Amino acid sequence: MTDELSSGELVPVRPGASFQDLDRLAEELVASAASQRVQLTGDGGLLTAFTRRVLQAALEAEMSAHLGYDKHDPMGRNGGNSRNGSTPKTVRTEVGQVTIEVPRDRAGTFEPQIVPKHQRRLAGFDEAVISLYAKGMTTGDICAHLSEVYDTDVSRDLVSRVTDQVLRDMRGWQSRPLDTVYPVVLIDAIVLKVRSTAAGVGNRPVYVAMGINLEGQRDVLGLWVGPTGGEGAKQWMNMLSELRNRGILDVCIVCCDGLKGLPEAIVATWPAASVQTCVVHLVRNTLRYSSKKYWQAIIRELKAVYTAATPEAAELEFEQFAAKWEPLYPAMISMWRRSWGEFVPFLAFPIEVRRIIYTTNGIESLNARFRAATRRRGHFPDEESALKVLYLAVLQRDKNRANPTGQINGWKNILNVLSLTYGDRLGLN
């Protein structure tokens, strides 16, 4: 088989060509484009012409398999069915718009599989659009990008329809069964602007739950859009009840950001769970009560509290801290006293375990991806649109993990400590 590209040069492509052959062909295409100043993509581009030829060859091969003989083969004469010309069809691909000739048969029974009837976009095109959408580009950005890079004009409505394909997968993901026990669950919230029918555009919290399973892998358990006005006990109970209904019967430690009503909802859902306030958020909230000129001193002295060897040592350090700062900032010290019961649980563990339960940083990293994906969008027309973008950001995160297994470093040692503490609850025996 040969391919006549826009440069007029014939490039051979053998059936069953190896990866080395394909690599050589790719190098020749790029070299040809550079030397002859021919573009790779867009109308008349080398890759566009190559894609057209590959699709055309595949369609002809499908027709030959359907009829039982190759084109121009004499054995097809008087065979009862035969080729009957072709119909032009333009499809959108990752390298631009490609016009192909879809062969027809006289009996009208040919059903192409490579480019099915009525299909105007190849899968790779849709995947490219969804990937750009997940990276934070708006529908308008994607239209402009495709026009500039691939010389392909698409409407915003088409981009929306392409990205809406993920909604079914998202609903399945949101209702999938979960493990019966998680050693650690992290819960946090991010605020987005979402339009609602009654209140117009407003700030809506989106709750994120991330579990660390028995294999030491972080898994986003779900996403929920809360009501305008912030968190409430009813909302937390609905969210945690859903997680329980999906299979989570027990959680050892739940790390959260002191969200109102959440500790009570956790204990009501999993009575044996320990609630751990995120220390990073606690320190961050501390600074809201104090003048900026004291921040360095406060952070330094609080470090002695949350890195103490035991809960008793931490209490001694805190009393020294309180004696110094309570006369100046009584509300700051009062906040720490109220949070003390949910601050100290992690101090009972060695350093390796403390690192994964004293902060929601694992989920904060995910929130950073969420912010990057939503920053340019202003507001969302509805809850489903907001969840769609966040779901795609979750998928991108999983795809781009540095560690393919997703396992936390040193997990075996951590699991050994957790099993000594929680025994049969982990079901490891």
| In the predicted structure, residue 360 carries a pLDDT above the cut 70 | no
Q: Alpha-carbon torsion 120, 124, 129, 134, what sign?
A: positive
DSSP 8-state class, residue 14: -
| In the predicted structure, residue 41 carries a pLDDT above the cut 60 | no
Mean of pLDDT values over 404-427: 83
| In the predicted structure, residue 369 carries a pLDDT above the cut 90 | no
**CA 75, 88, 130 angle in degrees (round to 5)?**
115
Pinpoint the alpha helices (H) of 358-425: 361-374, 383-399, 411-422
Higher-confidence residue of 400 and 387: namely 387
Order the strands of the 274-277 sheet from edge to edge.
Answer: 218-225, 200-212, 181-196, 250-256, 274-277
| In the predicted structure, residue 253 carries a pLDDT above the cut 60 | yes
The CA distance from 356 to 345, in Å, is 13
125 falls in which pLDDT band (50, 70, 90)? low
Torsion of the alpha carbons at 90, 92, 93 and 99, rounded to the nearest 10? 10
Q: Alpha-carbon torsion 337, 342, 343, 345, what sign?
A: positive
The SS3 assignment for 237 reads helix
Instruction: Name residue 350's amino acid.
Output: P
Closest CA to 380 of 210, 202, 141: 202
- pLDDT value at position 47? 55
- pLDDT value at position 398? 61
Choose the weakest-confidence range: 16-20, 163-167, 399-403: 16-20
12 falls in which pLDDT band (50, 70, 90)? very low
Q: What is the largest CA-CA distance in the chain?
A: 103
Instruction: Name residue 91's amino acid.
Output: V
The CA distance from 236 to 234, in Å, is 5
| Other Cβ atoms closer than 10 A to 323 | 10
| In the predicted structure, residue 9 carries a pLDDT above the cut 50 | no
Q: What is the pLDDT of residues 219-248, one digit of tens each?
A: 999 999 887 765 566 788 899 999 999 999
Residue 111 tokens read as: 């059903």
| In the predicted structure, residue 305 carries a pLDDT above the cut 70 | yes
- pLDDT value at position 49? 64
- pLDDT value at position 7? 41
Choose the weakest-confidence range: 126-135, 244-253, 263-272: 126-135
Instruction: Name residue 153's amino acid.
Output: D
- pLDDT value at position 114? 62
- pLDDT value at position 292? 93
- pLDDT value at position 13? 44
Mean of pLDDT values over 102-108: 83
Percent of the chain with pLDDT over 90: 25
8 falls in which pLDDT band (50, 70, 90)? very low
- pLDDT value at position 16? 44
Q: Which residues, in sequence order, are CB contacts of 355 under 8 Å at separation 6+?
A: none
- pLDDT value at position 261? 83
Mean of pLDDT values over 68-76: 75
Calculate the average pLDDT of the chain: 78
Choose the weakest-confidence range: 159-163, 168-172, 191-195: 159-163
First to last CA, the chain: 62
Q: What is the pLDDT of residues 311-330, one digit of tens each?
A: 999 999 999 999 999 999 99
Cβ atoms of 347 and 314 within 8 Å: the answer is: yes
Q: What is the pLDDT of residues 173-220, one digit of tens each?
A: 999 999 999 999 999 888 888 887 776 788 888 889 999 999 999 999
Q: Alpha-carbon torsion 87, 114, 112, 170, what sign?
A: negative
| In the predicted structure, residue 109 carries a pLDDT above the cut 80 | yes
Helix%, strand%, coil% for the chain, nearest 5: 50, 20, 30
Q: What is the DSSP string of 305-371?
A: HHT-SSHHHHHHHHHHHHHHHTTT-HHHHHHHHHHHHHHGGGGGS-HHHHHHHS--HHHHHHHHHHH
The CA distance from 51 to 59, in Å, is 12
Q: Cα 153 to chain center, whole Å?
A: 27
Phi, psi of 57 (to 5 degrees): -65, -40
- pLDDT value at position 65? 78
- pLDDT value at position 45? 58
Query: What pTM was computed for the model?
Result: 0.66
The CA distance from 83 to 104, in Å, is 6
